[in-house]
Amino acid sequence: MKHILMAAGALAFSLTPLYAQNFDDPQEFAKQRDQLQAEPMGPEGQPWLQYIGGDMVDTAALGLEAPATVCFSNAGVNNPWRVVGYTNMVEELKNHASIADFIHVDAEGSDDKQIADIDDLLAGGDCDVMIVSPNTTAALTPAVERACEAMPVIVFDRGVNTDCPVSFIHPVGGYGFGIQGAEFITSKLDEGANVLMLRILPGVDVLETRYSAGRRILEEAGMNIVGAEFTDGDNAKTKSIVEDYLMRGSIDAVWMDAGATAVAAIEAFEDSGYDIPVFVGEDQQDFLRKWQDEGLTAIAPTYPTYQWRTAVIAAARVIEGEPLPGPEWVLPQPAIVQENLDDYVNPAMPPLHYAMCGCEEMADYPQAWGGN
């Protein structure tokens, strides 16, 4: 046992300096900060069709004919965000006659399986266009490259390390998310206020960038960060952690890198008999409702699920030979604030529904999303 620990320790020390990956990139930070302010192009009120930055790619040359088959290699539907997104996607398909067939394969959160899935689709499916939502960036790059050789590829959510896809669709990004929440806290509190940062998991790129951006802004504003804890996205653990912090001292604000456990964190304050401080959550219905019911001082940055619609729209445009924003299609990433909170709260929707879905006008809303 001792040997193992020593070996692991030695290994670790050799690793740490090399592989503290850079999730704190000032350039990217500044870029996303600008993009949050930028006026998006495209139809107003339909953010899933809007884009920031004006580059377009022509797809007529790809020579596809409608109707065509679209294949979708999905990293997974293993969390509510992806469930809402996938529902958006399925509903959006109904708007596109040019997509005759839609084949969905689900990798259940495994890189290895997703690579195999893409190979399967290439070997046997009659795919004309492929949409990929990669499980992780680096691992899926070779598979996506192979897919690119065979057909046009649309990538969304996480990217890949290649520019071969027709377009990579994503909202502004993790820095933007972190910035919105942290700036809200600094605008509400004075220097030296106690801020607790709650994080889901280490190592996930989109979450790490949220954290680094949030931390940078809080530190620059002179906030006292009392702790940064991982919750594993587990409500019970979140509640326990917050309770433990409350036993040790007061908290003026809670910043979270994802909103899944926001309500549990709020309940920790309630159950321990404390006032609810300034809160950064996300656009999940349970948080929005709590916010509205309790009159919180809060903000809900979003990582909009409407990008799943956009992926289908992009595929349809490829088939129809229409131009689309690319090679990057940057979608706007609005935050829900006090002023527009009422627009997003909908008691008919399930607690884990992501309100920034851009789906309210779709045909089967709200039933398809589990609402009444």
Partner 1 sequence: MSIAEDTPRRKAGFRFERWAPLILLGGALAIYVVVALVTGQAQYLTFDNLIAILGRSIALGITAIGQTFVILVASIDLSVASLISATAVLASVVMDGSPAMILPAILAAIALGGLVGLTNGLVVSGLKVNPLIATLGMSLIIQGCLSAFVSNFAGEVPAAFQMFAYGELGPFPVALLFLGLLAVMAWAVLRFTKFGSDIYAVGGNEEAARFAGIKTGRVVILSHVICSICASIAGLYLASRLRSGAPWIGSDGVYDLESIAVVVIGGTVLAGGRGGVWGTMAGMLIFSLIDSVFNIAGVDSFAKQVLRGIIIVAAVAFYAIRSKRIVA
Partner 2 sequence: MSDSATAPKRRLPQINPVWVLLTVLVVAIIFMNPRFIEPTGYMNFLKRAAPLAILAAGQVYVITSGGFDLSVGSLITLVVVGSSMLTNNDPTATYWVIPLMLAMGLGVGAVNGLVVCFLRVPSLIATLGMMITLNGLAFLWSGGAPRGYLPDTFRFFGRELIRDVPLVRFIPVSVIVLVVVVGLLAWLMHRTNLGRQVHAIGDNPVAARLAGVAVNRVRITAFMLSGLSAAIAGILLGGFAGVSTDVGSGYELQAITAAVLGGAQLLGGRGSVPAALGGALALTAIFTLLNFLGLPQPVRQVVQGLILIAAVAFAMHRRRQTGT
How many binding residues for partner 1 (CB under 8 A)?
48
Whole-angstrom distance, CA of residue 325 vs CA of residue 130: 17
Q: State the nearest-atom distance from the C-beta of 287 to partner 2, in Å.
A: 11
Q: Does 21 bind partner 1 (CB under 8 A)?
A: yes
Q: State the nearest-atom distance from the C-beta of 194 to partner 1, in Å.
A: 26
Q: Does 5 bind partner 1 (CB under 8 A)?
A: yes
Q: State the nearest-atom distance from the C-beta of 30 to partner 1, in Å.
A: 23
- 167: which strand partners? 154
Q: Which is nearer to partner 2, 220 or 232 (CB)?
A: 232
Q: Of 38, 37, 39, 40, whose CA–CA distance to 50 is shortest?
A: 40
Q: Does 22 bind partner 1 (CB under 8 A)?
A: no
Q: Does 142 bind partner 1 (CB under 8 A)?
A: yes
Q: Which is nearer to partner 2, 77 or 122 (CB)?
A: 77
- 328 touches which of partner 2, partner 1, none (CB within 5 to 8 A by kind)? none
Whole-angstrom distance, CA of residue 41 vs CA of residue 173: 18
Q: Which is nearer to partner 1, 125 or 233 (CB)?
A: 125
Q: Which is nearer to partner 1, 75 or 265 (CB)?
A: 75
- 24 touches which of partner 2, partner 1, none (CB within 5 to 8 A by kind)? none
Q: Which is nearer to partner 1, 16 or 372 (CB)?
A: 16
CB 211, CB 197: distance < 8 Å = yes
Q: How far is residue 307 CA from its own chain's centroid? A: 9
Q: State the nearest-atom distance from the C-beta of 283 to partner 1, in Å.
A: 24
Q: State the nearest-atom distance from the C-beta of 315 to partner 2, in Å.
A: 22
- 365 touches which of partner 2, partner 1, none (CB within 5 to 8 A by kind)? none
CA triple 365-156-154, angle to 5 deg: 105
CB 318, CB 64: distance < 8 Å = yes
- In angstroms, the Cα distances linking 257 to 2, 90, 176, 198 are 36, 28, 11, 7
Residues 87-126 vs partner 1: string with x where CB under 8 A?
----------------xxxx-xxxxxx-xxx-xx--xxxx
Q: Does 15 bind partner 1 (CB under 8 A)?
A: yes
Q: Does 1 bind partner 1 (CB under 8 A)?
A: yes
Q: Does 80 bind partner 1 (CB under 8 A)?
A: no
- 133: which strand partners? 74
Q: Which is nearer to partner 2, 109 or 125 (CB)?
A: 109
Q: State the nearest-atom distance from the C-beta of 5 to partner 1, in Å.
A: 7
- Kindly list the strands in the beta sheet with 224-230, ordered across the sheet, starting from the edge strand earlier in the chain: 224-230, 194-199, 253-256, 278-280, 298-299
Q: Of the ranges 3-11, 26-34, 302-310, 347-355, which one interacts with partner 1 (CB under 8 A)?
A: 3-11
Q: Of 101, 102, 106, 103, whose CA–CA distance to 74 is shortest?
A: 106
- 22 touches which of partner 1, partner 2, none (CB within 5 to 8 A by kind)? none
Q: Does 204 bind partner 1 (CB under 8 A)?
A: yes
Q: Does 138 bind partner 1 (CB under 8 A)?
A: yes
Binding site for partner 1 (CB under 8 A): 1, 3-5, 7-9, 11-16, 18-19, 21, 76-77, 103-106, 108-113, 115-117, 119-120, 123-126, 136-139, 141-142, 202-205, 208
